[in-house]
């Protein structure tokens, strides 16, 4: 039966039941009025149970959009035209698509195209870049082979990102490489999630609590990864009373080259049987260089510790806890850049062009209230 019809019947049953109870209490109706009320509520529960969970979510989203058209459809149980599993049009095409042409739900694009406070408030490290050549990445991460890809200057959540994980060696003496490179969706989905469309976007994991949280505990023990990067973006937000806009910074290695963030990987299997690799970046408290911009920063795994970090068979989380500390104060430099990075559609090298910061100008005082200062 059509989900809309089931919902309509359930709603009518609920209204009838509530009216019966209201009439008995407020209109002093006989007690037998409670009988049809209880039957109506029981019918409501039965009808609601007949609606499949995915259809229920989509139907609710469709009804809600009629009442609240300004609410983005994908924010409500995955509405919109053929969103596909997890909000993508075709997840199966993800590994074969170019890295600079990611598929992303329209509602999330709208959120990411807004100024930076969304990423600054909810997620630390919500944008980063990978502009090195594939050859440099191969040498830095000691992987056998990766496909060619263009420089990426503005990597945003839900886009496919390059990650490196330990390979599964079948037997001693195997000639398989120790590490493998793969693409994963930036946005971690734990394996126990039933419907990813109702699950919040987890692009970061706090290193201090990752071993305790149900979402990340298993991945922290069994699926630690490296995420190569050329640097990341962060926003410094002045006090609201100043009225000044937030200032984006391009935070890059002071000596250039590549770095690797510590991350977590989870392969999520959706209800239709498709699978997708998802990832999150671990964060820790900021060092002295970044503390003036944000109180958190990504975990940076030193190159000499790659093997220990990726070795999930012999290295338990407590054995690699020392790698979750803030990076050295002299590792990064913060370069002020323009607000072009606020919009994910901007993907060129001009995003990292330094700008000179003008002296802040205080907003004009209003004349509506006198002040002693």
pLDDT tens column, 8-26: 776 777 787 777 767 766 6
pLDDT of residue 196: 85
State the catalytic residue, choosing from 116, 125, 266, 312: 125
Q: How many domains does the chain have?
A: 2
pLDDT of residue 30: 72
- Both 128 and 265 in one domain: the answer is yes
Looking at beta carbons, which pairs linking 15-23 to residues 24 or more positions away fall under 8 Å? Answer: 16/40, 17/41, 17/44
- Both 196 and 328 in one domain: the answer is yes
What is d(CA 98, CA 100) in angstroms, rounded to the nearest whole number? 5
Position 342 in a domain: yes
- Both 23 and 116 in one domain: the answer is no
Position 371 in a domain: no
Least Cα distance to 125 among 253, 238, 245, 263 occurs for 263
pLDDT of residue 4: 56
- Both 341 and 257 in one domain: the answer is yes
CATH number, residue 111? 3.90.1680.10
- Both 223 and 193 in one domain: the answer is yes
Last residue of a domain, one of 75, 105, 132: 75
pLDDT of residue 271: 81
What is d(CA 75, CA 56) in angstroms, rounded to the nearest whole number? 15
Query: Is the model more confident about 170 or about 370?
Result: 170
Least Cα distance to 168 among 304, 267, 268, 299 occurs for 267
- Both 39 and 95 in one domain: the answer is no
- Both 304 and 347 in one domain: the answer is yes
What is d(CA 373, CA 242) in angstroms, rounded to the nearest whole number? 15
Per-residue tokens: 34: 């409670």
pLDDT of residue 103: 37
Last residue of a domain, one of 21, 46, 75: 75
Position 71 in a domain: yes
What is d(CA 215, CA 213) in angstroms, rounded to the nearest whole number? 5
pLDDT of residue 178: 84
Strands 127-130 and 231-236 turn out to be antiparallel
Position 365 in a domain: no
pLDDT of residue 182: 92
Position 369 in a domain: no
- Both 37 and 132 in one domain: the answer is no
Residues in contact with 15: Cβ distance below 8 Å, sequence separation at least 6, in sequence order: none
- Both 8 and 157 in one domain: the answer is no
Per-residue tokens: 222: 């069994």
Residue for token pair 């006989």: 30
Position 361 in a domain: no
- Segment 219-238 shows an average pLDDT of 96
3-state secondary structure of 32: helix
Full domain range(s) for residue 25: 3-75
Which residues make beta-bridge pairs with 266? 278
Q: Where are the beta strands (DSSP E) in the chain?
A: 127-130, 152-155, 160-166, 179-186, 204-206, 224-229, 231-236, 247-253, 259-269, 275-285, 296-298, 332-336
pLDDT of residue 58: 43
Which residues make beta-bridge pairs with 129? 231
Position 366 in a domain: no
- CA 138, distance to chain mean position in Å, is 27
- Segment 286-297 shows an average pLDDT of 95
- Both 246 and 154 in one domain: the answer is yes
**pLDDT band (50, 70, 90) for residue 72:** very low
- Both 238 and 318 in one domain: the answer is yes
- Both 9 and 136 in one domain: the answer is no
pLDDT of residue 36: 72
What is d(CA 147, CA 136) in angstroms, rounded to the nearest whole number? 13
**pLDDT band (50, 70, 90) for residue 371:** very low
3-state secondary structure of 38: helix
**pLDDT band (50, 70, 90) for residue 136:** very high
Last residue of a domain, one of 45, 75, 105: 75
Q: Kindly compute the dihedral angle of the four CA atoms of residues 282, 227, 110, 276, in this order, to the nearest 10 degrees.
A: -100
3-state secondary structure of 102: coil
Q: Return the top range by mean pLDDT from 97-101, 238-242, 283-287.
A: 283-287
State the catalytic residue, choosing from 116, 123, 234, 312: 234
What is d(CA 334, CA 356) in angstroms, rounded to the nearest whole number? 12
What's phi and psi for 310, nearest 5 deg?
-80, -15
Computed over every residue of the chain, the mean pLDDT equals: 76
pLDDT of residue 296: 95
Q: Where are the alpha helices (DSSP H) in the chain?
A: 3-26, 34-50, 53-67, 106-113, 117-122, 134-141, 217-222, 306-310
Contact 360, 341 (CB under 8 A): no
Residue 234 designated active-site: yes
Please tell me the pTM assigned to this model. Answer: 0.65
Contact 184, 278 (CB under 8 A): yes
Position 83 in a domain: no
DSSP string, 316-328: -GGGSGGGGSPPP
- Segment 204-227 shows an average pLDDT of 95
- Residue 332's alpha-carbon distances to 145, 253, 259, 260, 265, in angstroms, are 29, 4, 10, 13, 26
């Amino acid at each position: 039966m059509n989900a809309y019809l089931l919902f309509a019947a359930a709603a009518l049953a609920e209204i009838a039941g509530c009216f019966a109870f209201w009439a008995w209490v407020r209109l002093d109706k006989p007690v037998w009025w409670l009988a049809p009320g209880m039957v109506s509520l029981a019918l409501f529960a039965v009808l609601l149970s007949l609606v499949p969970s995915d259809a229920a979510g989509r139907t609710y989203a469709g009804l809600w959009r009629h009442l609240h058209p300004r609410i983005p459809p994908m924010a409500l149980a995955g509405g919109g035209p053929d969103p596909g599993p997890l909000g993508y049009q075709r997840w199966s095409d993800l590994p074969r698509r170019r890295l600079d042409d990611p598929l992303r739900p329209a509602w999330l694009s709208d959120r990411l195209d807004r100024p930076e406070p969304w990423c600054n408030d909810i997620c630390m490290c919500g944008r980063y870049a990978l502009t090195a050549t594939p050859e440099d990445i191969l040498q830095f991460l000691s992987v056998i082979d990766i496909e060619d890809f263009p420089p990426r200057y503005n990597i945003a959540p839900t886009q496919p990102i390059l990650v490196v994980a330990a390979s599964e060696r079948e037997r001693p003496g195997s000639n398989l490489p120790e590490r493998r490179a793969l693409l994963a969706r930036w946005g971690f989905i734990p394996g126990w999630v039933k419907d990813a469309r109702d699950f919040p976007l987890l692009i970061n994991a706090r290193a201090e609590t990752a071993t305790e949280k149900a979402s990340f505990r298993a991945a922290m023990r069994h699926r630690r990864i490296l995420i190569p990067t050329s640097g990341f973006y962060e926003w410094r937000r002045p006090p609201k009373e100043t009225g000044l806009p937030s200032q984006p910074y391009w935070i890059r290695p002071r000596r250039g080259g590549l770095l690797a963030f510590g991350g977590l990987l989870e392969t999520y299997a959706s209800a239709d049987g498709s699978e997708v690799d998802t990832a999150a970046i671990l964060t820790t408290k900021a060092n002295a260089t970044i503390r003036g911009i944000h109180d958190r920063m990504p975990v940076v795994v030193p190159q000499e510790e790659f093997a220990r970090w990726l070795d999930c068979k012999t290295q338990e989380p407590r054995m690699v806890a020392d790698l979750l500390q803030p990076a050295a104060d002299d590792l990064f430099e913060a370069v002020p850049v323009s607000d072009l990075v606020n919009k994910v559609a901007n993907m060129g090298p001009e995003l990292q062009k330094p700008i000179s910061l003008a002296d802040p100008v205080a907003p004009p005082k209003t004349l509506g209230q006198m002040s002693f200062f």
